[in-house]
């Protein structure tokens, strides 16, 4: 199949767009979560296109525009982080996914977005997450790899398959095929790039660490863990079975229908919380999901909403535009939190997942996928670890090498117009880590902790201080700095405009938002 594609139009595969979203907690000099408001010098968290906040006022999220190839995206991300550091006052950006010095629920400030209806909706949604799942798990940080295949590729791929559907229907269908394979084979991402094999004891807030061992006086760990962030101590919809809901990835239509049911179906557990109590909203509603984004998944299909359009409606109306891969821990060994080799590997992995066979999931396979992810996150580097695929036990190493071998043609296809072999080199590096777990990110974290006689907190703080020095010592790009300064002013003006233009009450705004339909 790859040879037929390359014969038809190989250059069409070289223009995929990638963007990066990176979360970082702002912390004080002692490593505790900052209680200061989102700095005005960074603009409006509601309206800024590249600098916002996630769950907490202290949880920064940096967003790059989409670029062709990793280097422009990584350069933009580095320039963003450098700009952020120039606007912080004696605060660090935490270099790790798992927070430390957590002072319980009261020590986590929920993000504030002003008094517009849109801003209030974002804050109430986060308040609801706190009531439903607890605040602590909401301040875990990660990196998201956003990817869309080259637009010129789709007609070629459709012609090769002799498919006569409307092009956008073909595109959305193949994005869902890609997503199913990203879930099937997605355990390789936390295995290779998971960087949270340990956690600060304060993160558990006194709760027993039933599946973890004591590392030292301030850290828990699992000896072979790769990503505790992606385990059940992290933020997941762990009550899926109890609630009777799981997203359906068979097609765009079934996915939209499954999420629509969840955001419209009341849940007795959440009704007990209350929606509007003593005049204050505790959550947006008492349904299984308040909104679509509450459904945690390692992969999401995305379409850009128009105005206040619901994400499911944006997908239903215009199809899938790109994929958001959410299973990446922050890479503590790179100031940007992700490096070029990772991006090259992930782009090849995306193409492999598009081209590989991708039948709909059976109930058994969904269970296998969940069990494989859990096994890899908790004990992925365990010697002799077996996973399950189509009912058969496979050693992680055997299956991983098999995946990498199948990716080789994809890497070569992407390398064809680079003038070098960055995709093949990245693939070979990760194939080596499949064979030698000591080369994985998580193993490197534990090796650093052992070498320096430090717990998870001291490791993460040391790396955070190194990264701070890196960004403060970089020579600024004056043109880029002016662009960021201008975007800050524009975002503040945009927030003021939306606040002044609100004519509805918040109750009316919510009723109109949730009444949207095709």
What would the pLDDT profile of 215-234 be if each residue is shown by its tens digit? 999 999 999 999 999 987 76
The pLDDT value given to residue 325? 98
The whole-angstrom separation of Cα 402 and Cα 383 is 18
Average pLDDT over residues 78-105: 93
Sorting pLDDT into bands at 50, 70 and 90, what band is 132? Answer: very high
The pLDDT value given to residue 55? 94
Whether the predicted pLDDT of 506 surpasses 70: yes
The whole-angstrom separation of Cα 336 and Cα 328 is 13
Nearest alpha carbon to residue 94 among 142, 127, 37, 41 = 142
Residue 20 pairs in a beta bridge with 145
The whole-angstrom separation of Cα 422 and Cα 428 is 10
The pLDDT value given to residue 244? 65
Sorting pLDDT into bands at 50, 70 and 90, what band is 236? Answer: low
CATH architecture of 2-237+299-514: 2-Layer Sandwich (3.30)
The pLDDT value given to residue 328? 97
DSSP string, 301-361: EE-PPPTT--HHHHHHHH---EEEEEEEPP-TTSTTSS-HHHHHHHHHHHHHHHHS--PPP
What kind and span of H or E run contains 444? helix 441-452
The pLDDT value given to residue 4? 59
The pLDDT value given to residue 234? 61
Average pLDDT over residues 96-106: 89
Residue 447 and residue 381 in contact, taking contact as beta carbons nearer than 8 Å? no
Nearest alpha carbon to residue 85 among 97, 75, 96, 77 = 77
State pLDDT tens for residues 194-210. Answer: 999 999 999 888 777 77
State whether residue 269 is helix, strand or coil: helix
Average pLDDT over residues 92-106: 91
Question: What's the predicted TM-score (pTM) here?
Answer: 0.95
State pLDDT tens for residues 330-352. Answer: 999 999 999 999 999 999 999 99
The pLDDT value given to residue 1? 55
Sorting pLDDT into bands at 50, 70 and 90, what band is 243? Answer: low
Average pLDDT over residues 130-151: 94
The pLDDT value given to residue 56? 96
What's the chain's length in residues? 518
Query: Which DSSP symbol is given to 60?
Result: E
Share of the chain above pLDDT 90, in %: 86
Average pLDDT over residues 32-41: 95
State whether residue 368 is helix, strand or coil: helix
The pLDDT value given to residue 107? 83
Residue 84 and residue 58 in contact, taking contact as beta carbons nearer than 8 Å? no
Sorting pLDDT into bands at 50, 70 and 90, what band is 480? Answer: very high
Other beta carbons less than 10 A from residue 124's beta carbon: 22
The DSSP bridge pattern shows strands 322-328 and 299-302 to be antiparallel
The DSSP bridge pattern shows strands 276-277 and 213-216 to be unpaired
The pLDDT value given to residue 237? 42
State pLDDT tens for residues 168-196. Answer: 999 999 999 999 999 999 999 999 999 99
Sorting pLDDT into bands at 50, 70 and 90, what band is 103? Answer: confident
Residue 303 and residue 315 in contact, taking contact as beta carbons nearer than 8 Å? yes
Other beta carbons less than 10 A from residue 144's beta carbon: 18
State whether residue 272 is helix, strand or coil: coil
Residue 61, sorted as left (phi over 0), alpha (psi -120 to 50) or beta, turns out to be beta
Whether the predicted pLDDT of 122 surpasses 60: yes
The DSSP bridge pattern shows strands 59-63 and 67-68 to be unpaired
When the pLDDT of each residue in the chain is averaged and rounded to a whole number, the result is: 93
The pLDDT value given to residue 35? 94
State whether residue 280 is helix, strand or coil: strand
Both tokens assigned to 387: 């996973």
Nearest alpha carbon to residue 298 among 144, 96, 193 = 144
Least confident of 234-238, 295-299, 491-495: 234-238
The pLDDT value given to residue 467? 97
Whether the predicted pLDDT of 416 surpasses 70: yes
């Amino acid at each position: 199949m790859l040879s037929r594609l390359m014969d038809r139009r190989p250059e069409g595969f070289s223009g995929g767009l990638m963007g990066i979203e990176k979360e970082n907690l702002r912390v004080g000099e002692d490593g505790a979560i900052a209680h200061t408001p989102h700095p005005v010098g960074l603009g409006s968290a509601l309206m800024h296109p590249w600098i916002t906040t996630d769950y907490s006022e202290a949880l920064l999220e940096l967003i790059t525009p989409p670029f062709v190839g990793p280097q422009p995206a990584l350069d933009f991300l580095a320039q963003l982080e450098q700009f952020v550091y120039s606007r912080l006052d004696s605060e660090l950006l935490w270099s790790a996914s798992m927070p430390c010095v957590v002072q319980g629920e009261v020590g986590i400030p929920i993000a504030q977005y002003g008094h517009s209806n849109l801003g209030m909706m974002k804050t109430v949604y986060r308040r609801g997450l706190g009531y439903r799942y607890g605040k602590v798990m909401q301040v875990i940080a990660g990196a998201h790899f956003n990817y869309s295949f080259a637009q010129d590729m789709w007609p070629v791929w459709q012609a090769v398959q002799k498919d006569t559907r409307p092009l956008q229907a073909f595109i959305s269908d193949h994005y869902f095929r890609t997503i199913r394979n990203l879930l099937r084979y997605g355990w390789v991402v936390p295995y290779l790039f998971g960087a949270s094999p340990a956690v600060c004891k304060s993160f558990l807030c006194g709760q027993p660490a039933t599946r973890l061992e004591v590392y030292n006086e301030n850290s828990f760990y699992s000896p072979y863990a790769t990503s505790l962030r992606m385990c059940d101590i992290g933020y997941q919809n762990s009550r899926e079975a109890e609630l009777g809901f799981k997203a359906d990835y068979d097609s765009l239509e079934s996915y939209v229908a499954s999420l629509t049911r969840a955001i419209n179906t009341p849940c007795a557990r959440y009704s007990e919380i209350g929606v509007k109590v003593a005049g204050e909203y505790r959550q947006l509603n008492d349904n299984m999901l308040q909104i679509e984004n509450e459904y945690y998944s390692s992969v999401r299909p995305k379409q850009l909403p128009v105005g206040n359009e619901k994400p499911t409606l944006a997908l239903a109306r215009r199809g899938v535009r790109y994929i958001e891969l959410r299973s990446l821990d922050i890479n503590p060994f790179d100031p940007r939190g992700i490096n070029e080799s990772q991006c090259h590997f992930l782009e090849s992995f995306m193409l492999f997942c598009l081209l590989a066979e991708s039948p709909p999931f059976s109930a058994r396979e969904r269970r296998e996928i969940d069990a494989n992810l859990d096994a890899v996150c908790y004990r992925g580097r365990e010697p002799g670890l077996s996973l399950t695929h189509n009912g058969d036990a496979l050693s992680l190493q055997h299956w991983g090498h098999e995946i990498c071998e199948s990716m080789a043609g994809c890497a070569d296809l992407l390398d064809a117009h680079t003038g070098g072999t960055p995709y093949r080199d990245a693939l070979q590096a990760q194939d080596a880590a499949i064979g030698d777990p000591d080369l994985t990110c998580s193993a490197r974290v534990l090796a650093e902790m052992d070498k320096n006689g430090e717990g998870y907190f001291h490791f993460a703080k040391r790396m955070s201080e190194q990264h701070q020095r890196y960004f403060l010592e970089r020579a600024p790009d004056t043109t880029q700095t002016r662009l960021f300064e201008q975007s800050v002013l524009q975002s503040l003006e945009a927030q003021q405009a939306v606040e002044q233009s609100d004519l509805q009450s918040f109750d009316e705004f919510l009723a109109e938002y949730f009444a949207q339909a095709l």
